[in-house]
A and B are shown apart, each in its own frame.
Chain A
Amino acid sequence: MSKNVTYDHVNKIYDEKGKNPVHALKDISFTINQGELFCLLGPSGCGKTTLLRSTAGLESISSGKMYYGDVDISTIPPFKRNIGMVFQSFALYPHMTIFENVAYGLRVRKTPNDIVKKKVTEVMELVGLGEELKRNPSPTGLSGGQQQRVAIARALVYDPDVLLLDEPLANLDAKLRRYMRAEIRRIQKATNITTIFVTHDQEEAMAVGDRLAVLRKGIVEQIGTSEELYSSPRNAFVSNFIGKMNFFNSKVVSADRENIVARINTTDIDVVIPRERAHLENPAAGMDVLVGGRPEQLVVSRTKSSDSVMGKVNIIQHLGSFIRYEVEIADAISPAVFEIDMPTLQKDIHEQDIVYVNLKRGLASLFSPEGRE
């Protein structure tokens, strides 16, 4: 039976008594709902894998509690937790056939032979390897995608309470990766097992997950659906990690009940941002802030206007449905290069040209410069 997973003030400190303790998880508290496909997303070293391995019991946590349903599993050893896990390397046993690989967890549970056979066949049908099972080769003879399916089947066959996926697609090539992520979502929805999916690829996380948690330096920055994270990121880091965000260094000019007005540094361009898109605490005049615009919320053109900033085109990339212009802006406004996506190729703009960048009206958001990366 699928269960929800709750983290209650979970902390993990590596080498706690040593010289260089590393605080890998900082006071993590949230709940993953029953039957949910939940993504842990973050740059490498953010603690997502540590959190997953702690959930599995492969790492012990330093303090806090973890629950499967209402059961505190913090101190239960991993082999008694009834979980399924798919490893980045797949970890298939080369000395066993694919049938024995998948049957492993059932054998451990001393399941009678006929049930083992039935369950393995069922789960292999589910992951689309029914035909392969008839040949029953060693996993070393399978393609990457097939190995991935065997690994998933092996983790699902004994009806685990929770399914854990540790960067399961990292070892596949780009095309297969896109296909398998849809497959994983299909299989997860068919079994309805609470699933935690770890990845560093935001596109993958947004495509697959019912909800996502963005982690950074051991802290959960934001939890929400793909749509929530994309359209209303809580801070500059999340906004730039879930999709790209271009930031204009700015200062608050005035703030009232509905709107905040910010002036882009070294210019006299004022941007008006409604309160619900201002992710700031107590904005006051003179405060340093970042005005953010997504690549599709900016426009690049050869003609100067009163509210445009000047830049130089570095590179133009044709990406199929849109054209990406990388534009260098004055350091005082943005030390990072802007990415601006235009729906069509601008015939009059070439690499190294001087151009003018405008923010589309009414779309910008406002962030505190803290924690920007």
Chain B
Amino acid sequence: MAKYSIEENGKETSRIKKFFQKDFSQALVFAVPMLFLAVFLLYPMATTLVRAFMAPAEDLAFHGFSLEGFNQFLTSNLYRKSLWNSFAVSISVTLLCLLIGVPMGYCMARVKMPGKNLMLTLGTLPIIMPSFVGAFTWVILLGKNGFVRIFLNKILSPIGIEIPSIYGMFGMILCMTLSYYPFVFQLCYGAFASANSLLEESAMLMGASKARIFRTITFPLILPSLGAAALLVFVRAIGNFGIPAIIGGDNYVLPTLIYFEVNGFWNINGACSIAVVNVGITAFVLWLQKYIVNRHQYETISATHTELKLHESAPARIIATVYVVIILVASLLPQVTIIIMSFFTKWTGLWPEGFTLSNYIRIPHYSHHELFNSFFLSLTATLLCAVLGSIIAYITERKKPKGAALLDLSVMAPFILPGTVVSIALLSAFSGNSWLRLTGTYVIIIISFMIRRTPYVYRSVAASLTQLNPSLEEASTIAGATWFYTFKKVSIPLITPAIISGSILTLTTLLQELSTTILLYSGRTRTVPIQIYAAVQDGKLGQASALSVVLLVVVFVIIYTMNRRQGKGIAAAFKMG
């Protein structure tokens, strides 16, 4: 039949034949993620931006242009103070983290110390614990009736010093610093440990003093890592919801203000304005960091590396060890406290009271629904993130279409968006009388998880693809394989390790996600972190602790298993997080 039609009208059919000869599997595989990004990322971001310039309204219809939302920052005391608090908290936290993390990284990398591997692992633990869990354990330690506070006040009262209660700015800064310093510590440790010692030795041979070497050689070379770490801390601090919600008291910050506007008044448009301001600040800081770091980015010239010479003098070793141990103890106090607390009913004096196992035993009774939700939502979202992230990474790395940079930017954008902003964007697009109403469903939470965490898999896979020689795929094409066959048999198996490590990171962070779900959950879709948050608000600290311990154990086991299987440091996995 084909022969017949060719004779009939050759040119026409040959064009049709050519059309069907083309390989469409590729376009099909690529279309789905693009559609997802357009509908659930770009569209919500656009509506958020539009709504930010609309007057508050109940029906969520699109009204005329108004600057009322932004005007609030000039007229309302609450808004002004929230903005100021956000600034003050994030900047102080960033500076304090640098202050603690840089010396700690240096000590670990350059001073001979006992038990280094143990310390390195302990130094990452604070990142694994959700920050809001840290916050409520600090309430147990330093709250109005916190035992550490009572204890310290008893000692210090004769000299007239009273430790302030954890509630307020002091508490927020303390909590966030102790949760986030590991980012600085880990990145600086990496930079100090991998620095080329020959550079420092050559400076020494040219007659430079130790201080001068640090100032002119060592420090400038770790500056890029420092910039990356500072940015990581700042972005997290300014987007953090859990800590200010639990111990902020009446000190609102931008994320809690968004929650306040939505939960209290269902003022989505107003919340959008706050979100835009919040993102604006983050974007500015990101730009600033890029600007500073780009001017100090160096290529490593030498190829050979020699062993670093460690400080071995006794005073150096003692000072470094004591310093590191103090920081570790302070930042790990919450973990210890929470485990003790989970076996008691209350802890308001010096000692916990009412030993019980019922916090654990009754978990199936009071939390089976939430546990199911948490695992179901996180696992589903992780699976989808893995697919979405890998395909988009494949597109940007291998196909390099026009606008690959834009695609990269839009996938990575949620990386710096606070969780509350992501949920506001989704609410602004898919609630009320929207064409697609998703409020209160599992779907909206899964989508928010995907939007927020796809960057993990994306980055991980993109990095592994740049390492992979394209000729591996070309060789398959040459051997006669179609695009899809090559993708299935060559590309996918080779990037699988990257997909797995990105997915593990995604899963562990999603299990602890609070700031996104807090605005999106309904009675049906409540997750464990939400339940912990609610239990803390109700004063059921025993229950909250037991649930947190369960979460921590699950997360720790997942990460530990991955480390054993893949032989990668926890730090390396969390670096990008």
Q: List chain A positions with a Cβ less than 8 A from chain B.
A: 56, 58, 75, 77-85, 87-89, 91, 93-95, 104-105, 108-109, 154-155, 158, 164
Q: Are B474 and A91 in contact (CB under 8 A)?
A: yes
Q: Are B480 and A108 in contact (CB under 8 A)?
A: yes
Residues on A with C-beta less than 8 A from B485 are 108
Residue in A closest to B486 when the chains form the complex, CB atoms = A79
A105-B469 in contact given A58-B474, A91-B474, A94-B494 (Cβ < 8 Å)? no
Q: Are A108 and B481 in contact (CB under 8 A)?
A: yes
State how many angstroms separate the Cβ of A147 from the closest Cβ of chain B.
13
Q: Are B478 and A104 in contact (CB under 8 A)?
A: no
State how many angstroms separate the Cβ of A138 from the closest Cβ of chain B.
13
A105-B480 in contact given A58-B474, A85-B475, A93-B472 (Cβ < 8 Å)? yes
State how many angstroms separate the Cβ of B529 from the closest Cβ of chain A.
38
Q: Are B479 and A77 in contact (CB under 8 A)?
A: no
Q: Are B494 and A79 in contact (CB under 8 A)?
A: no
A79-B471 in contact given A94-B494, A95-B494, A108-B485 (Cβ < 8 Å)? no
Residues on B with C-beta less than 8 A from A83 are 478
Q: Are B479 and A58 in contact (CB under 8 A)?
A: no
Partner of A79, one of B469, B472, B481: B481
Residues on B with C-beta less than 8 A from A87 are 469, 471, 474-475
Query: Which of B18, B471, B475, B489 has the largest number of chain A CB atoms within 10 A?
Result: B475
State how many angstroms separate the Cβ of A33 from the closest Cβ of chain B.
22
Give 22 A-B contacts (CB < 8 Å), ordered by A residue.
A56-B478, A79-B477, A79-B480, A79-B483, A83-B478, A85-B474, A85-B475, A89-B469, A91-B471, A91-B474, A91-B475, A93-B472, A93-B494, A95-B493, A95-B494, A104-B476, A104-B481, A104-B489, A105-B480, A108-B481, A108-B485, A158-B480
B380: Cβ under 8 A from any A Cβ: no
Residue in A closest to B475 when the chains form the complex, CB atoms = A91
A155–B480 Cα gap in the complex (Å)?
A: 11
Partner of A84, one of B18, B477, B478: B478
State how many angstroms separate the Cβ of A353 from the closest Cβ of chain B.
40
Kindly state the interface size class of chain B when it binds its partner.
20 to 34
Query: Which of A75, A91, A93 has the largest number of chain B CB atoms within 10 A?
Result: A91
State how many angstroms separate the Cβ of A220 from the closest Cβ of chain B.
24
Residues on A with C-beta less than 8 A from B471 are 87-89, 91
A93-B490 in contact given A79-B480, A80-B480, A105-B480 (Cβ < 8 Å)? yes
B25: Cβ under 8 A from any A Cβ: no
State how many angstroms separate the Cβ of B478 from the closest Cβ of chain A.
4
B201: Cβ under 8 A from any A Cβ: no
A349–B478 Cα gap in the complex (Å)?
A: 57
Residue in B closest to A82 when the chains form the complex, CB atoms = B480
Residues on B with C-beta less than 8 A from A164 are 478
Residues on B with C-beta less than 8 A from A94 are 494
Q: Are A154 and B474 in contact (CB under 8 A)?
A: no
State how many angstroms separate the Cβ of A194 from the closest Cβ of chain B.
15
State how many angstroms separate the Cβ of B25 from the closest Cβ of chain A.
12
State how many angstroms separate the Cβ of A60 from the closest Cβ of chain B.
13
Residues on A with C-beta less than 8 A from B472 are 91, 93
Residues on B with C-beta less than 8 A from A105 are 479-480
5 extra interface residue pairs, beta carbon distance < 8 Å, beyond A79-B483, A82-B480: A78-B478, A79-B479, A85-B474, A85-B478, A87-B474
Q: Are A154 and B479 in contact (CB under 8 A)?
A: yes
State how many angstroms separate the Cβ of B405 from the closest Cβ of chain A.
16
A80–B479 Cα gap in the complex (Å)?
A: 9
State how many angstroms separate the Cβ of A168 from the closest Cβ of chain B.
12
Q: Are B478 and A79 in contact (CB under 8 A)?
A: yes
Q: Are B474 and A79 in contact (CB under 8 A)?
A: no
The digit string for B43-79, where 1 denotes a CB below 8 A from any CB of A, is 0000000000000000000000000000000000000
B23: Cβ under 8 A from any A Cβ: yes
7 closest A-B pairs by CB: A105-B479, A91-B471, A91-B475, A87-B471, A85-B478, A108-B481, A95-B493
Residues on A with C-beta less than 8 A from B494 are 93-95
A47–B413 Cα gap in the complex (Å)?
A: 40
Residues on A with C-beta less than 8 A from B483 are 79
Partner of A58, one of B23, B477, B481, B493: B477
Residues on A with C-beta less than 8 A from B474 are 56, 58, 78, 85, 87, 91
State how many angstroms separate the Cβ of B154 from the closest Cβ of chain A.
64
Residues on A with C-beta less than 8 A from B478 are 56, 58, 78-79, 81, 83-85, 155, 164
A77-B475 in contact given A105-B480, A108-B485 (Cβ < 8 Å)? no
Task: Tell me which residues from 482 to 505 in chain B have a Cβ below 8 Å from any Cβ of chain A.
Answer: 482-483, 485, 489-490, 493-494
A159–B123 Cα gap in the complex (Å)?
A: 58
A109-B469 in contact given A91-B475, A95-B493, A95-B494 (Cβ < 8 Å)? no
Residue in B closest to A78 when the chains form the complex, CB atoms = B477
Residues on B with C-beta less than 8 A from A85 are 474-475, 478
Residue in B closest to A104 when the chains form the complex, CB atoms = B479
Residues on B with C-beta less than 8 A from A108 are 476, 479-481, 485
A83–B475 Cα gap in the complex (Å)?
A: 10
Residues on B with C-beta less than 8 A from A95 are 493-494
A77–B476 Cα gap in the complex (Å)?
A: 13
Residue in B closest to A86 when the chains form the complex, CB atoms = B475
State how many angstroms separate the Cβ of A301 from the closest Cβ of chain B.
46
The digit string for B400-434, where 1 denotes a CB below 8 A from any CB of A, is 00000000000000000000000000000000000
Residues on B with C-beta less than 8 A from A82 are 480
Residues on B with C-beta less than 8 A from A104 are 476, 479, 481, 489
State how many angstroms separate the Cβ of B531 from the closest Cβ of chain A.
43
A313–B9 Cα gap in the complex (Å)?
A: 76
State how many angstroms separate the Cβ of B552 from the closest Cβ of chain A.
35
State how many angstroms separate the Cβ of A52 from the closest Cβ of chain B.
11
Residues on B with C-beta less than 8 A from A78 are 474, 477-478
A158-B479 in contact given A93-B490, A95-B493 (Cβ < 8 Å)? yes
A88–B481 Cα gap in the complex (Å)?
A: 20
Residues on A with C-beta less than 8 A from B477 are 58, 78-79
Task: Tell me which residues from 1 to 44 in chain B have a Cβ below 8 Å from any Cβ of chain A.
Answer: 18, 21, 23
A294–B265 Cα gap in the complex (Å)?
A: 92
Residues on B with C-beta less than 8 A from A154 are 475, 479
State how many angstroms separate the Cβ of B333 from the closest Cβ of chain A.
45
Q: Are A79 and B493 in contact (CB under 8 A)?
A: no
A333–B480 Cα gap in the complex (Å)?
A: 56
Residues on A with C-beta less than 8 A from B493 are 95
Residues on B with C-beta less than 8 A from A58 are 474, 477-478
A155–B490 Cα gap in the complex (Å)?
A: 16
A91–B475 Cα gap in the complex (Å)?
A: 7
Residue in B closest to A56 when the chains form the complex, CB atoms = B478
Residues on A with C-beta less than 8 A from B482 are 79
Q: Are A91 and B480 in contact (CB under 8 A)?
A: no
Residue in A closest to B470 when the chains form the complex, CB atoms = A91
A164–B475 Cα gap in the complex (Å)?
A: 11
A56–B304 Cα gap in the complex (Å)?
A: 39
A95–B494 Cα gap in the complex (Å)?
A: 7
A87–B493 Cα gap in the complex (Å)?
A: 20
A5–B311 Cα gap in the complex (Å)?
A: 67
Residues on A with C-beta less than 8 A from B21 are 77
Residue in B closest to A75 when the chains form the complex, CB atoms = B18
A93–B480 Cα gap in the complex (Å)?
A: 16
Query: Which of B471, B479, B485, B490 has the largest number of chain A CB atoms within 10 A?
Result: B479
A56–B21 Cα gap in the complex (Å)?
A: 18
State how many angstroms separate the Cβ of A51 from the closest Cβ of chain B.
16
